[in-house]
Structure 1
Amino acid sequence: MSAGLERRGISDRALALADRVEVFVRDTVIPYEKDARQGPHGVDDALVKELRALARAAGLMTPHIPEGGAHLTQRETAAVLIRSGLSPLGPVALNTAAPDEGNMFLLGKVASDDLKARFLAPLMTGEARSAFFMTEPDGGAGSDPSMMQTTCVPDGNHWVINGRKTYITGVVGAKVGIVMAKAAEGACMFLVDLPHPAIRVVRILDTIDGSMPGGHAEIAIEDLRLPADQMLGAAGEGFRYAQVRLAPARLSHCMRWLGACVRAQEIAVDYTNRRHAFGKPLIEHEGVGFMLAQNRIDLKQAELMTYWCADVLDTGAYGTTESSMTKVAVSEALMRIADNCVQVMGGQGVTADTIVEKVFREIRAFRIYDGPTEVHKWSLANKIARDWKKAQPES
């Protein structure tokens, strides 16, 4: 892994931690990649428990939030999470995976001390998983969260929530839920213990990816009654809190999948140096070598964008524009890298003999999750237009 860029503005302690994470993933996690306790809907909870026990024994559980609860800077988090992503199982083992990583960040920022003790603490120890209930079926909230149809209505010192959600990652087996709903005052966020009888799994969706425990589900929420003190903040602040979560979460995705593509490149380089065709190693054929050269360029550009955006978020800004730009640039670059790795490996690239084909599938989903490229470009174009109008002299 490249160390030069990381060393700027990162403590020796955080760099040493990142190095320990890399050793753990390479030596301990990667041997589990062919474990049968993985399927189309994610990693089985028994495997999650086993891997997390190993991380805990190594002193690496939730490494980006060291003991005491002080979250690393985003720049330091990048150094750690990139390493955790060297295996698709790494984030699961180390408790740096979505949606838990983003949910922990949000709760650490906005939850009361009581809510942190009840809901955040078991997430940080890796003893619980979580789910974030925002996206809805057709006609509801998705890329446009203002279309939210799930409602919450006050009833004494409680709120009653009704609606449907979809693409809810990790809800099967989760113990903590963050539910977004719309009140007269605007969007609201609530914390809920899972499973809950008022939250019903309608179906588990069959998706192209399969790295996240619990898969992705369609959910029905029917008369979910929650005490008012389980609301995050005040009524109407839900969208503001969503930005607190979503901007860093987009960047964390970039970090983890950058690590996965670093590993895919390693595998492809090894394969093309060992495999011969037409009298020489594959890598000596320009058509192959040039793709791997482009991969190296894209990896470096993705790394630069990731650390740049981390620096913006470390200023305390939500960094919505910067995280959108980074999500677009990095996800598209990683897609090219994964595709090139599959291509240069030929038939071997589309088998499960290595993680390359899995990384390809996961990156394809990443281009959509947390906002597809086109939505982020649309948002950026609107900002460009607004900035231009503000810059015009008054007539």
Structure 2
Amino acid sequence: MSAKPQQESRQVQVLIVGLGPAGAACGMALAGSGLEVLALDRAHFPRDKICGDALPLGAQTLVQHLGLLTTSPELQCRSSLEERGSVRARGYDQGLTGQGWLAERGAILSSTACLQTVRRHDLDHWLVERCRERQLPMEFGWQVESLRWDQAIQRWQVRGRIRTREGKPLKRFAITTPVVVGCDGAASAIQRQSNPARPRSLQALASRCYLTPHESQTSSAQAQPRSRLHYLWPGESTYAWAFAVPGGFNCGVAAMVNRHGDLPIRGRDLMERTRQWIQTLNHDWDHSAVEASHHNTSTIQTMAIPVIHPTTAPQSSAGILLAGDAAALVDPHQGHGIDRALESGALAATVIRKGVAMGLAPAALSERYQQRLAVRVRGWQQQWQALELESMNDTALIKALSRPR
């Protein structure tokens, strides 16, 4: 008879599940706090993460504060941004936009290299290394499978399986903790299992494919690359992008959900539009300038994105704090995802650190976090007005943009 798999058992004060930007921000803030913290991720790093790779201004500020520019400048790429068909571009034709943009063949071009990108493969690995420098206890290949609240001891019982980088099962684990910070992404096991009654978040659809220059084109590449953001389908909140990243371009199509939860297209249409967008890029770049990685459409990957919504109301069980994608804080239309993950992860750490010092129970910690996160969410929800504008015709758009504020 074969021996039963060995089980790894731990008891900690705080368990962080997921080591993307939200989990890393939370972990860095709690490392050295005196609390017994464990952070785990089901993947082994470095690992890929489907993303547009663009950093909004808030995320740029946060990662630069952590030292990305000084320690690893080769991971970053800056480019100008060309917009076509967007509210900003359409408003420019009517003289309604501010400074910083130049008209160019029916589109607008930023006058500076305003777009900063870092491949998520590199960014997440870099953040994990910063956690390691701060001696945050971490485990990789640990996948949560069950979560149960033990009323008798007022603790969560978290169980799962440990796997090698190749996916081979090693053994099981069991962790006892009063506080779980769920940073485990769009398909959050922590969110699902801690509060099954919580309404499912609205989902946007997006695709991604990396395009890389031919070697013959590398020497003639522009000193400052140009990224693109094009609204090619009038009347839809759907857009295509090609963002310059180190070594090539991150390209894809995003279909945004509306206030009623409806998507303008389905997954099959998303793939077809992505292929059309890649063909358009290849044509614009003289066919030979860019090639799809591995030359096949299997490199086009798709994802569902849990988006923030005007009716989003953060809610979770006692001792559960959800951050980043697990809390449905993403706004792909405005490019907000990484910044809100970093911000919410750091907020969770602040609430935990101060709350434990005050002697707050797990339920009180969760309530305090939800109250503080709700304040920020209300501000983020107001940005949905811009999404509504994208679907307007030019007459309605001019009227809306001209309305006194």
- TM-score bracket, shorter-length normalisation: under 0.3
Tell which has more relative contact order, 1 or 2 (C-alpha 8 A, sep 6+): 2
TM-score of the aligned structures, taking structure 2 as reference length: 0.25
Larger of the two Rg values belongs to structure: 2
Give 1 or 2: higher helix fraction: 1
Tell me the TM-score normalised to structure 1 length. 0.25
